[in-house]
Structure 1
Amino acid sequence: MITKTRTAIVTGGSRGIGRAISIRLAKDGYAVVVNYIGNKEQADRTVADIKGLGGNALAIQGDVGNVEDMERLFATAVETFGSIDVVVNSAGIMPMLPIQEADMDAFDKVINVNLRGTFIVLGQAARHLERGGRIIALSSSVIAHSFPGYGPYIATKAGVEGLVRVLANEMRGRGITVNAIAPGPVGTDLFLEGKSEEQIARISGLATLEPRLGSPEEIAAAVSFLAGPDGTWINAQVLRVNGGMA
């Protein structure tokens, strides 16, 4: 017999911001399905940490850009926990790709993960969530800037925000909110990889609240707010969690 419990799916949920979101939602009382693409060890560690806190979690491998993988992810979540209440699409990549180099293989990879993946995950969420569900996608505050090398990444995240607003309209009358969170620079491997100390310091200084990088836990707190009871009347919005990034 299936016992229904509040359940959240977090794609890219084993590392960085996704890991922090998984742990925070577990603390909020959700059973968490931690999706990962390749690092099983890290995913298992995240699940173990959640269980160590008294929570319930399950790691499921899958590529967000692959329809069959995401169908299996959502079906397994329902089979295991009875329903899905919150979906957070946190999976993403951020390679530096100057436009003039025209590296189409790298460009297609960014599109596949960040944009196609979001389209697939949001579609699955729309099919599976019941009334009162919450759909949250991760965008980026870097959209407001034109940093060299960020072209493909910015293009995908602009697309994410567009998809969120359209899906919110498509969910009209179903009691399901659809929002995005746009973090500023956060001190994760995804952000730090390939950057010099000078670049990191310059980007850290963009926050007007104080010159520093954000933490994964600060982004997870915003997700918790949108997923929780205080987020009921927030819909089709992009919450920029960036310390007042200029």
Structure 2
Amino acid sequence: MAGKNLQGKVAVVGGGEKNLGGLISRTFAGAGAKVVVHYHGSESEAEQTVADVQQAGGQAVAVQGDLTNVADVRRLFDTAVDTYGGVDIAVNTTGMVLRKPILETTEDEYDRMFGINAKAGFFFIQEAGRRLNDGGKIISLGTSLLAAFTDGYATYAGGKAPLEHFTRAAAKEFADRGISVNTVAPGPMDTPFFYPQETPERAEFHASQALGNQLTHIEDIVPVILFLSTEGWWFTGQTLFPNGGYTTR
């Protein structure tokens, strides 16, 4: 596609083995990037994504790690630099969803939700800021619940909310090196992460709140991330809501 050439670029994709992250990894590779595919537990899916990239003539490597562990975040970027000589794009799609009333939420659940959604997000941005080449791009995955008024998702939306503030601060702090920093906040996505949290009736309701009466598809989000990684460099410090008009009152 015109303007979507990533030839010679290196991309680190947090959670890059499956679902949205897997499609981002394959799309980036198809546009010419060398891709470092991070995964936490799904080794077979990471290996399949790497194999898909290689069979299409691209270059990719898989790296296992727990991004709530700062040493693992650093090792992820170390691998990118050691393998490909640098990093130009860092996209973090990792996260954890929980739908549970505030009064029923345990301390352990709170800690886990803020660990993966906020702590991992912060240190991914931090390490990307240290390691990216000048003119690089940092993109985090948020949620349209940041702009919603709903029940049950206090720890999920609350854990993702700091990404907006991390993004704005990093956009200012990294600006002198030409690094743009943004958050992409989709509506409820038609992936295996969504359905365990919802009843069929609520899933239907969420779909009804968006354009075309459908949930967000991963194919709707990848072009936004690709745009921010290429000619969308002028966007920085922003939270973009590609959600089909999704709203929950």
Q: Same fold (TM over 0.5)?
A: yes
Match of 1:220 in 2: 222
How far the C-alpha of 1:174 sits from its partner, in A, is 1.0
| AA partner of residue 73 (structure 2) | M
* Residues 190 and 215, structure 2, Cα contact 8 Å, conserved in 1: yes
Secondary structure of the 1:241 match is: coil
CA gap 1:155/1:123 in 2 versus in 1, 3 angstroms: same
* Residues 28 and 224, structure 1, Cα contact 8 Å, conserved in 2: no
Identity of aligned residues (%): 39
Stretches of structure 1 that go unaligned for 5 or more consecutive residues are none
1:153 aligns with 2:168: no
| AA partner of residue 220 (structure 2) | E
1:51 aligns with 2:54: yes
Q: TM-score, normalised by structure 2?
A: 0.94
1:40 aligns with 2:62: no
Match of 2:245 in 1: 244
Q: 1:234 and 1:96 mapped to 2: Cα distance?
A: 32
RMSD: 1.3
Q: TM-score, normalised by structure 1?
A: 0.95
* Residues 17 and 39, structure 2, Cα contact 8 Å, conserved in 1: yes
How far the C-alpha of 1:171 sits from its partner, in A, is 1.0
| AA partner of residue 222 (structure 1) | V
Q: 1:59 and 1:114 mapped to 2: Cα distance?
A: 22
Match of 2:236 in 1: 235
Q: 2:105 and 2:233 mapped to 1: Cα distance?
A: 43
How far the C-alpha of 1:147 sits from its partner, in A, is 2.6
How far the C-alpha of 1:172 sits from its partner, in A, is 2.4
Secondary structure of the 2:23 match is: helix
Secondary structure of the 1:185 match is: coil
- Write the mapping of 1:1-246 to structure 2, written as runs, cut at 5 A: 5-207=8-210, 209-228=211-230, 230-246=231-247
| AA partner of residue 89 (structure 1) | N
* Residues 97 and 103, structure 1, Cα contact 8 Å, conserved in 2: no
* Residues 65 and 117, structure 1, Cα contact 8 Å, conserved in 2: yes
CA gap 1:244/1:102 in 2 versus in 1, 3 angstroms: closer
Q: Deviations over 1:23-53 (max 9, x none)?
A: 1111111111110111101111111112222
How far the C-alpha of 1:185 sits from its partner, in A, is 1.3
Stretches of structure 2 that go unaligned for 5 or more consecutive residues are 1-6
Secondary structure of the 2:241 match is: strand
| AA partner of residue 218 (structure 1) | D
How far the C-alpha of 1:199 sits from its partner, in A, is 1.1
How far the C-alpha of 1:5 sits from its partner, in A, is 3.7
Q: Deviations over 1:174-198 (max 9, x none)?
A: 1000011001111111112232211
* Residues 8 and 32, structure 2, Cα contact 8 Å, conserved in 1: no
| AA partner of residue 139 (structure 2) | I
| AA partner of residue 101 (structure 2) | P
Q: Report how many residues are paired.
A: 241
Q: Deviations over 1:135-168 (max 9, x none)?
A: 0011110122233220001111111111101110
* Residues 8 and 25, structure 1, Cα contact 8 Å, conserved in 2: yes
